[in-house]
Structure 1
Amino acid sequence: MKMKLLLVSAIFLYGFTGLAQEVAYEEYNLENDLHVILHQDNTAPIISISVFYHVGSKDEDPQRTGFAHFFEHLLFEGTENIEKGEWDKIVSANGGSGNATTNEDRTYYYEVFPSNNLELGLWLESERMLHPVINQKGVDTQNEVVKEEKRLRVDNSPYGKFIENIKKNLFQSHPYKETVIGKMADLDAATLDEFKAFQKKFYSPNNAVLVIAGDFETENAKKLISDYFKDIPKGAKITRSFPKENPITTEINAKAYDSNIQIPASMIAYRTPGLKNRDSQVLEMISTYLSDGPSSKLYKKMVDEEKQALQIGAIPVTLEDYGMYIVFALPVGETSLSTLNTSIETEVEKLRNDLISENDYQKLQNKFENQFVNSNSSIEGIAESLAEYYALYGDTSLINKEIEVYRSITREEIKEVANKYLKPNQRLVLEYLPEQNTAN
């Protein structure tokens, strides 16, 4: 479920069904197996055109990490019909905006335009798919861009390396052990032919979802989609077979150093199931219960009452094959990291041993009802949700019915899942420490 702004909790009392707008959509395949999803909403004259490619960092050669993220940048370089540097100019000159994102499982490109620019958006994305220019000049340019991004967001950012340290300790075999941004040495060593081969393999219609959401007429949209995409050649079938991880049966202890910080942090992480597993939704509820906001159990105890932590939070990372549940805390004054760990484990142990109160359970249900209502509050959000539910979950209809899963989760199930995944012998305890002149 996508976490957005919350409405007042009264929605639970009156029922969400009267306030939640069902997302109507139509989906079909072109002959080249490009999956198309249409969501028509003529209430405002805007339109989102997006393409979701089922390729992320997990699909890379382990000696060529960072390729998926690199292509997030590279495919803005230009096409056979769009000169280098002109893509963003075309979008902005026509009143639009656009961007792209990459994670371990997918790469997502999108534009938002006034609705009279539907054809322009489709042309842009068809150009990206059919006619990308991948040459040495573009590769060299984007190599420098990615290096600067890594320096800014990872190397020189406080706590910027924590996720890579968690991943490399939680995963030993699966490619999730690598970072999305990758190793710069791998990108430096890659040949132009390797970049071209990666594009040919993954950026094809049969590995993509095209979503149009917003103000359009269906028959006109279908005709334009056919005009711009039907003749793009289908790529070879992609097969995936990733190594499985052995269960964690003994607590993993590790240290990491960051020259950009002055306050140490404790980070506790558990390996969790992939997003299609119902337990992943239960773990989202657990995360909300423990650390979502000032009223959560960990915040009230460790920040408000015992004054142990400057900050406490949790990050449920839900991915296709596995997930991660990460709890982090920054100490107050001389509070030790071990004290923080003990306090965190005390609250997690309560989840394993006891049912949460009926009152806390109802608060959780309130929050998830509210989040569901707001998760589809924008055309851009709806477009991305439709693509993800189809490509990663295999069920587009979850955009309207995933709330049924959260409603059906019981207090007993929360306790059961906490016992299944959140035991001390199944966790990583990472000490994230300050250090000057840390070697990269």
Structure 2
Amino acid sequence: MHTFTRWTVLLSMCAGAFCADVPPPLKIQQSQLANGLKIVLAEDRSRPVANLQVWYHVGSKDEKTGRTGFAHLFEHMMFRGSANVGPEEHMRLVREAGGNVNAYTNFDMTVYWETFPSNYLERMLWLEADRLASLDVSEANFKKEREVVKEERRLRYENPPYGTLVEHVLKNTFTTYPYKHSPIGSMEDLNSATIADVKAFHDLYYVPNNATLVLVGDFDAKEALALIEKQFAKIPKGKPIPRVTAVEPAQTAGREVTVKDKKAPLDAVVTAYHLPPMGHPDSYALDIASSILSSGQSSRLYKRLVYEEQSALGAQGQSLFLEGPSIFFGFAIANQGKNIKEIATSLEFTFNEMGEKAVLDEELTKAKNQSIAGFITGREGVQSKADFLGRCAVLLGDPQRYNSELAKYQAVTAADIQRVVKKYLAKSNQTKVFIAPDTGAAKPEAK
């Protein structure tokens, strides 16, 4: 399984601020079954392949306090078998057809996908419908996958240096909104979860009226709709889906916290800022500003802290745009013997500078090229098309935005960037998290 990652950027595809061979608009068809299942189709007859995705509009933000990690747990549980498919048989049947299969979980959604030769479309629809209708949520499967998730948490979060850094950032940046915890969940919550809790979560969120089926590739739309109705129409509609109503209050003063990390060899700092949700008019300029500030070794942050001052071993950042309130963060690891507070000041200065002075033309051109190239590479294959189409349909609320997002990046100006940086990357909107090596005795790890 894998978590969502940013598109790969191919700068070589763009020669200037605009690309000559921007692909034509995607022809998108929408439908909905009586049970609430939303359907988004886009034909691409260039190759005899297709990508099927089922997006469940449930992520870690929908989990109750004390019951974290459930959305990610079901990313694993969904491969443990259903009424007509045995454990791990779903994967075998896809791969026997020459296809690939996987899933990923985010704060806002859980996605299951298959890429396959298009003549196997009905098999793939049958597999997805069978586990939607009759997933085997047994205690044995739950306990087995819980141990898998706990081991994943140990390997990815608790054992690596700075592995829990993002969790500390989320916990201290968000005060009320349920992005406070990461999708992996806590060890304590996983240990205390019961089969009754897990079944209740499944029965509420894994229903047709909380799902969007996205299909891109080599098929006839009319025939595909008939097959979808054949496989999914009889699955009963679920209860109305409760949506998150929490509101993250505006931050009015900077916050600072220091946490100990027994695995961290050197001091580190993260400076985080609240941003508006994905799709907000300011999000496009903020995303480009993030690229200029912190993306790669040519970014302002890396050049200042690593090359010029030589105070940091590494420095990077990212804008994390979500369905709800979002964040930007910059991160630096101190060089041996360097003062982490001074590094934090320099990091903050780098951000403030962009709010005071317009970005250079070459910086803006490069960052816009990265965004444009990302859109182009994101439209090359059926899977990448379906990924973005699903994101537009589920998180932005309209699959037709697939065809209009690129223009919003192209329209960003240097003045836009200066304005949004000054507005959002302000000290009053800032949370600093210092990571300090813990030289004390290690505490026993939760089992």
TM-score by length of 2: 0.93
Kindly indicate whether residue 197 of structure 2 is the aligned counterpart of residue 194 of structure 1: yes
Measure the CA separation in 2 of the matches of 1:221 and 1:112. Answer: 15
Kindly indicate whether residue 361 of structure 2 is the aligned counterpart of residue 380 of structure 1: no
- What's the secondary structure of 2:214's corresponding residue? strand
Kindly indicate whether residue 281 of structure 2 is the aligned counterpart of residue 261 of structure 1: no
Task: Say whether the 8 Å CA contact 1:257–1:438 is kept in structure 2.
Answer: no
Aligned twin of 2:305: 302
Q: Output one character per residue of 1:205-255: Cα deviation in whole Å (capped at 9) or x when no partner.
A: 111110111122222211111110111111122132432222222221112
Measure the CA separation in 2 of the matches of 1:45 and 1:319. Answer: 34
Measure the CA separation in 1 of the matches of 2:372 and 2:238. Answer: 41
Q: Output one character per residue of 1:139-188: Cα deviation in whole Å (capped at 9) or x when no partner.
A: 11111111111111111122110111001101121111112111233233
Task: Say whether the 8 Å CA contact 2:63–2:70 is kept in structure 1.
Answer: yes
Question: Which deviates the most, 385-394 or 425-434?
Answer: 425-434
Kindly indicate whether residue 11 of structure 2 is the aligned counterpart of residue 7 of structure 1: yes
Q: 1:104 aligns with which of 81, 104, 107?
A: 107
Measure the CA separation in 2 of the matches of 1:273 and 1:190. Answer: 33
- What's the secondary structure of 2:329's corresponding residue? strand
Measure the CA separation in 2 of the matches of 1:301 and 1:9. Answer: 28
Shift of 1:293: 2.4
Task: Say whether the 8 Å CA contact 1:303–1:309 is kept in structure 2.
Answer: yes
Measure the CA separation in 2 of the matches of 1:227 and 1:132. Answer: 19
Aligned twin of 1:332: 335
Kindly indicate whether residue 88 of structure 2 is the aligned counterpart of residue 88 of structure 1: no
Kindly indicate whether residue 321 of structure 2 is the aligned counterpart of residue 318 of structure 1: yes
Q: 2:356 aligns with which of 340, 353, 356?
A: 353
Measure the CA separation in 1 of the matches of 2:148 and 2:367. Answer: 42
Shift of 1:35: 0.9
Kindly indicate whether residue 250 of structure 2 is the aligned counterpart of residue 247 of structure 1: yes
Aligned twin of 1:429: 432
- What's the secondary structure of 1:220's corresponding residue? helix
Aligned twin of 2:400: 397
- What's the secondary structure of 2:234's corresponding residue? coil
- What's the secondary structure of 1:127's corresponding residue? helix
TM-score by length of 1: 0.95
Task: Say whether the 8 Å CA contact 2:320–2:328 is kept in structure 1.
Answer: yes
Measure the CA separation in 1 of the matches of 2:49 and 2:350. Answer: 46
The verdict on how the C-alpha distance between 1:292 and 1:183 changes in structure 2, with shifts beyond 3 A counting, is closer
Measure the CA separation in 1 of the matches of 2:244 and 2:299. Answer: 39
Amino acid paired to 1:57: S
Measure the CA separation in 1 of the matches of 2:182 and 2:203. Answer: 23
Measure the CA separation in 2 of the matches of 1:260 and 1:399. Answer: 42
Q: 2:120 aligns with which of 104, 108, 117?
A: 117
Shift of 1:270: 0.9
Measure the CA separation in 2 of the matches of 1:239 and 1:310. Answer: 45
Measure the CA separation in 2 of the matches of 1:408 and 1:428. Answer: 30
Aligned twin of 2:415: 412
Amino acid paired to 1:112: T
Question: Which deviates the most, 141-150 or 415-424?
Answer: 415-424
Aligned twin of 1:77: 80
Amino acid paired to 2:109: R
Kindly indicate whether residue 226 of structure 2 is the aligned counterpart of residue 223 of structure 1: yes
Measure the CA separation in 1 of the matches of 2:138 and 2:152. Answer: 21
- What's the secondary structure of 1:385's corresponding residue? helix
- What's the secondary structure of 1:8's corresponding residue? helix
Amino acid paired to 1:184: M
Aligned pairs (5 A) from 1:36-185: 36-185=39-188
Measure the CA separation in 2 of the matches of 1:11 and 1:118. Answer: 39
Q: Output one character per residue of 1:10-35: Cα deviation in whole Å (capped at 9) or x when no partner.
A: 4436x425342432221111121211
Measure the CA separation in 1 of the matches of 2:62 and 2:39. Answer: 23
- What's the secondary structure of 1:12's corresponding residue? coil
Amino acid paired to 1:121: M
Amino acid paired to 2:303: K
The verdict on how the C-alpha distance between 1:276 and 1:186 changes in structure 2, with shifts beyond 3 A counting, is same
Unmatched 5+ stretches in structure 1: none
Measure the CA separation in 2 of the matches of 1:65 and 1:361. Answer: 40
Aligned twin of 1:363: 366
Shift of 1:53: 0.4
Q: 2:210 aligns with which of 202, 207, 211?
A: 207
Measure the CA separation in 1 of the matches of 2:370 and 2:87. Answer: 46
Using the aligned pairs only, state the percent identity: 34
Shift of 1:2: 5.2
Aligned length: 439
CA RMSD of aligned residues (A): 1.8
Unmatched 5+ stretches in structure 2: none
Measure the CA separation in 1 of the matches of 2:207 and 2:127. Answer: 15
Amino acid paired to 2:261: D
Measure the CA separation in 1 of the matches of 2:13 and 2:55. Answer: 34
Shift of 1:428: 1.2
- What's the secondary structure of 1:62's corresponding residue? coil
Measure the CA separation in 2 of the matches of 1:8 and 1:95. Answer: 31
Task: Say whether the 8 Å CA contact 2:62–2:244 is kept in structure 1.
Answer: no
Shift of 1:357: 2.5
